[in-house]
Amino acid sequence: MMSLVMTSYFCGGSSCFHVHACQRAPLLYPSHVPVYIICFYKSFAMADFSSSFDMPSASLSENAEAAELQRLIAVEQQKAQFQAQVHNFTDVCWDKCMDKPSSKLDSRTETCLVSCVERFIDTTLTITNRFTQMVQKGAH
Amino acid sequence: MDSFGSDFSSGSSSGKMDTGTIMEQVKVQIAVANAQELLQRMTDKCFKKCIGKPGSTLDNSEQKCIAMCMDRYMDAWNTVSRAYNSRLQRERARI
């Protein structure tokens, strides 16, 4: 099932070792800084424990610490990606659903916002599936 | 883009940084960036909604409109967040 976070982790599957890989992030998340920050921290976590000049090789506890750090960072990254999506959806659905700003969010507008999110996701899935089919057909 | 915060060298001879400290910094910086993102988008939307022809100052009606708009934007953000969250949970339950 296609990930609902519409762009995959931009560092590609496993890790991003270099900060300039993280600088490609703005292409995917033009104004969302947290994902960029997480990539930086991830590459820091990877680099720190694999390229230290003082120690001949990373000890077991350092590897465990690095793994734990990566896991924690991955959790934060997921949260940040979720919030980036919420920002995008709110942006789009605000234009669709809000007329004049009033003193309270009435139920009609709230229903519209919820539907907007659902239909936007459905649209994304529809486009992805159909595009996949088109590409597969084109491959013959 | 401003610096990512404190310099990463620790005082200890091992050169390692404490996992807890790193995660604290990560969370704080993410929260700050998230707030900046929210404000940037909110400003964009509320300017479009509330300011017609820009005058020499923000008059009272414009200021009230901006205040209401901010509240509504945050309400909308929360609604969208809940809707997206439930959709994700529904999709995960299907797998």
Point out the residue among A1, A90, A98 whose CB comes nearest to the CB of B91: A1
Distance CA A73, CA B60 (A): 45
pLDDT digit string, tens, across residues A14-24: 344 444 345 44
Quick one: pLDDT at residue A58? 64
What pTM, to 2 d.p., does this model score?
Answer: 0.70
Walk me through the domains of chain B, giving residue ranges and CATH numbers: 21-91 (1.10.287.810)
The answer to whether the CB atoms of B26 and A118 lie below 8 A apart is no
- Examine the pLDDT at A12 and tell me if it is beyond 80: no
Residue B49: CB atoms within 10 A of its CB come to 19
Point out the residue among A91, A114, A121 whose CB comes nearest to the CB of B79: A114
The answer to whether the CB atoms of A91 and B14 lie below 8 A apart is no
Distance CA A55, CA A10 (A): 31
pLDDT digit string, tens, across residues B34-91: 999 999 999 999 999 999 999 999 999 999 999 999 999 999 999 999 999 999 999 9
Q: Which residues in chain B have Cβ-Cβ distances shorter than 8 Å to A89? A: 80, 84
pLDDT digit string, tens, across residues A107-116: 999 999 999 9
